[in-house]
Amino acid sequence: MDAPTLPISPAGRSDLTHHLHPYTQLRQLEREGPLVIVRGDGVNVFDEHGNGYIEGMAGLWCASLGFSEKRLADAAYRQMTTLPYYHSFSGKVPGPVAALVDKLIEWAPVPMGRVLFANSGSEANDTAFKLVRYYNNARGRPLKKKIIARNKGYHGVTMAAASLSGLPMMHQHFDLPLPDVVRVSCPHFYQFGLPGETEAQFVDRLAQELEDTIQREGPETVAAFIAEPVQGAGGVVVPPAGYFAKVQAILKKHDILLIADEVITGFGRLGQPFGTQVFDLKPDMITVAKMLTSAYVPMSALYVSDQIYQAVADASAAVGVFGHGYTYSGHPLACAVALETLRIYEDDRIVDHVREVAPRLQDGLRKFASHPLVGQARGLGLIGALELAADPAQRKPFEPARGVGAYFVRRAQAHGLIVRVLGGDIIAFSPPLVITEAEIDAMLARTELALADTWEWVRTWR
Ligand SMILES: Cc1ncc(COP(=O)(O)O)c(C=O)c1O
């Protein structure tokens, strides 16, 4: 790792002393200090020294409208000065919830019965995990509880959501996963295709693995399958053609629910409102967060089918109450901002815009496919990745300890671009949906500079 490029400021020093950073190599941070971001403008953010960066990740795949959308600030202010807080327990509800649920049902990619609110993607998936139990108990099938999740899936960090996630660092030392989670393979052909195997054969092999897994566990014990349409944090994995069709046929045969985790893909990232439409999914539950509010205020939601709602409603009547909910479920500030976000998506035809500018990003990334550091360039809509490789022809990764992806990210930052490295030296791109073609070009130009720097560095040690 090269030396820090910026001095540690008093704010950075305080942060280092008292803040336990999420998802960070903590000892390294103690040495190098944080990048303190203080301002945003369009797709750019600025650090405390005044340096500007294109936010090539929209923060954490979320700030869809960039970092200075005044309509959202105004909506928040109006709501804060009208009704800053109220709850939805015991038959009450804050005013702005009604308009938001109407709008969300309008946006739903398949018919959905109800929307349940939470504050993060993790909580929405945690809630889905709980509802799988509630639903099957309510239907008199107490054995049907297991959830199948995929390697490299990312569903969040609560006990249940981390258990569903298929990344080992999320389990180590946390004594996870919880029981009732069953794992199957990640549909990343580049990494997991066998020598000589075609994509179609790979899909067949994964489908067979799913069928075998269900048979091994007992179909009467398997309740649900959870999947991101495009896996994000696990490496920006776009499934091969036919994958979801085969998966869904097997789920249907065994009466297994599909939970679509659309926390990254919901509201336009892939050039359709949801990944559900892209891959022709028939989910029974859908989780959304992030771009629901353009990340300006924390909020997530779980869509449930009417069938699930009816069973839950009957069971809760028998129990006396539906014993679940957060203090901030349907928080009026979040509702107001979410509603305004969805109106902006409609007024500004954001999903169409994504479809219009996406080829600029996808073609630009694929031009790097012949770079000697790049094993694969891939993506869909406004999400993409460069998977770096020690030997691209053999799809051979770098030794993780070399930190090649982390080096790239630092060089990109030095050139005014923030991107993220995922495990396996995969560089992820997920810019704000409002990004223009000119801004995409600037992002790609900075990527090229960072690739050149990284290549020069790699050649010094091999
Ligand atoms: C697909 C997916 N699901 C769930 C989550 C968890 O969301 P949160 O960090 O808001 O809890 C994330 C976060 O990146 C995600 O990418």
Say if residue 151's pLDDT is above 70: yes
Fold of 73-347: Aspartate Aminotransferase; domain 2 (3.40.640)
351: how many CB neighbours lie within 10 A of its CB?
A: 21
- Closest residue (by CA) to atom 16 of ligand 1? 264
| Close Cβ partners of 263 (under 8 Å, ≥ 6 residues apart) | 121, 124, 125, 155, 156, 228, 287, 288, 289, 290, 300
Domain segments of the chain as ranges: 35-68+349-461, 73-347
Our answer on whether the CB atom of 301 is closer than 6 Å to any ligand 1 atom is no
DSSP character for 391?
A: B
Q: What is the pLDDT of residue 391?
A: 97
Q: How confident is the model at residue 11 (pLDDT cuts 50, 70, 90)?
A: confident
Whose structure tokens read 């398997």? 222
Number of the ligand 1 atom closest to the C-alpha atom of 156: 6
Q: CATH number for the 35-68+349-461 domain, one of 3.40.50.2300, 3.30.460.80, 3.40.50.720, 3.90.1150.10?
A: 3.90.1150.10
- The neighbouring-strand residues paired with 427 are 386, 421
**Nearest residue to 121 (alpha-carbon basis) of 293, 289, 258, 266:** 289
Is 35-68+349-461's fold the same as 73-347's?
Answer: no
Q: How confident is the model at residue 7 (pLDDT cuts 50, 70, 90)?
A: confident
Cα separation, 131 vs 137, in Å, equals: 10
108-117 tens-digit pLDDT: 999 999 999 9
Our answer on whether the CB atom of 155 is closer than 6 Å to any ligand 1 atom is yes
Cα separation, 462 vs 263, in Å, equals: 40
How remote is the CA of residue 121 from the centroid of ligand 1, in Å? Answer: 5
Say if residue 35's pLDDT is above 50: yes
Q: What is the pLDDT of residue 8?
A: 85
Q: How confident is the model at residue 1 (pLDDT cuts 50, 70, 90)?
A: very low
**Nearest residue to 231 (alpha-carbon basis) of 261, 255, 209:** 261
Say if residue 44's pLDDT is above 50: yes
